[in-house]
A and B are shown apart, each in its own frame.
Chain A
């Protein structure tokens, strides 16, 4: 399949700080997720492919054309920025119609498309409310509405699920999947693996400005599962819990925190650990107060992968 977006040796730095380094990518129609911790270079890559930044080295082409100042490409592009920023004095409908007018649509067409987009993200009831009065989730959804309102062929979504409640997340994920079905190209960034899993199986791991791995979700999952996880459980029966789990072969280490009645398990099989924990809770009278994962963030996983 012909790639829609081609990045060749793409490098960008901000003074002495590296944004991205020698990125080579072909992105085809469908959903491609950029997964990486904050500061990995996802946003820099997205800003370059949307013509907001120029690469210091290398080049990016969309449909075979350079992006910078290319109005033909911009016409086919929808960009959802990560930042929570708006023309606050406008209401949702005015915001969308105003931005739609930049595409040369007539007044009636702008209104029609704006209403469709608002409906798509479930904001039709608050269309005439000032954006400044919107909740965090509503603001995120209106950002998505402005991305899709002009029916672009390519959607670049920078952390589109951030700040959304579970229901809105499902709605947006469904919307993104509909775009894939319509043959469009969607590039979405996230630092939350389960969110990405819900959208696509095509994932690019990006870290410290470089592409660490590219593959389908199973490949990525395999990489991540080999990472030892820390799970901290607070319970009045923390010693009993440790005794019951100590014999399991996937437990690598156990540390006690008696002053707060907690125990920290280190495991390289998180799923097995949680299955067993569920069984223990059901079978015995163990009472748990809190379960947290001190290192359950992508940064820790990526650091582990880089070191390995």
Chain B
């Protein structure tokens, strides 16, 4: 099974790299780098008073956590099966001696890897542009790595959920949009256990230093009742495992038809 997953991964990582979608998303994820450059220029000119750390925290919460990882996961995850149907390439895949579960897992890992490269390069460059200076320390580097890993867990969880939708629904993108930018944006501000029905809740729980954050975007954290970090990580891993398993089961037993 591992070898089959690796074969599918190699094929889709390679073809995914060459796709126009990859170029589009790479440019989109580079938006934060561009914004960072502009802000840094303002800082150097003395027209921006907030520190690089604060600006990056805002980027992290608003751009990366609530926008970029959801968007990358939505488009890559939704396309897991649907793109094969829309492009009518499904016969090339399912008539090969590869388990259907391996197709799902291989494609998932390929798209997760592509999205990870985009995310990490964007996060790292943005952080460095905003914070690089005489006071920059190894601790800062650890911080950015920790942030990146938390975002990556979110990316993996969202991608597995949208991937599952792709095996199940004909038009997963609409449901995905409603979930990613509707449900996820709203439910996390509900008090009590309701907010725990969102992936974003567990990601924010892993960023405890921001739970009491004030400032312009403090309203984003005001109602967070964080889950313990270890539990949050376990739940995120559980989400990935659950939805990937469901996706594999559905894809293994379901027929996929496209209009001839």
Contacts and interface: CB of A to CB of B under 8 A. Distances in A.
Interface of A: 14, 43, 47, 50-54, 69, 71-72, 74-75, 77, 79, 81-83, 85-90, 94, 98-99, 101-104, 146
B98 A85 contact: no
A103 B18 CA distance: 23
A98 B94 contact: no
8 contacts: A14-B257, A50-B91, A51-B95, A52-B91, A52-B256, A74-B98, A87-B92, A104-B97
A86 B89 contact: yes
Nearest to A14: B257
Nearest to A77: B95
Interface stretch (B5-13, B129-137, B194-202): B5-13
Nearest to A87: B15
A103 B90 contact: no
B95 A52 contact: yes
Nearest to A54: B255
B252 interface: yes
A53, A77, A87, A103: which has the most chain B beta carbons within 10 Å?
A87
A41 to B, nearest CB: 11
A131 B91 CA distance: 17
Given A85-B87, A102-B11, A74 B255 contact: no
B209 interface: no
Interface of B: 3-4, 7-8, 10-11, 14-15, 18-20, 87-92, 94-100, 252, 255-258, 260
Contact of B11 (A14, A53, A81, A98): A98
A101 B89 contact: no
Contact of A43 (B8, B98, B99, B260): B260
A3 B30 CA distance: 59
Main secondary structure of the interface of A (DSSP, over half): loop
A53 B89 contact: no
Given A51-B94, A51-B95, A74-B96, A85 B88 contact: yes
B8, B90, B260: which has the most chain A beta carbons within 10 Å?
B260
B95 A50 contact: yes
B7, B96, B100, B260: which has the most chain A beta carbons within 10 Å?
B96
B10, B18, B99: which has the most chain A beta carbons within 10 Å?
B18
Contact of B7 (A43, A47, A101): A101
Given A85-B87, A85-B89, A74 B95 contact: yes
A43, A83, A103: which has the most chain B beta carbons within 10 Å?
A83
Contacts of A71: 97-99
Top 9 A-B pairs, shortest CB-CB distance: A85-B88, A102-B96, A71-B97, A75-B97, A81-B91, A89-B18, A98-B11, A74-B97, A83-B88
A286 to B, nearest CB: 44
A74 B257 CA distance: 19
A114 to B, nearest CB: 13
B92 A99 contact: yes
A83 B100 contact: no
Nearest to A146: B92
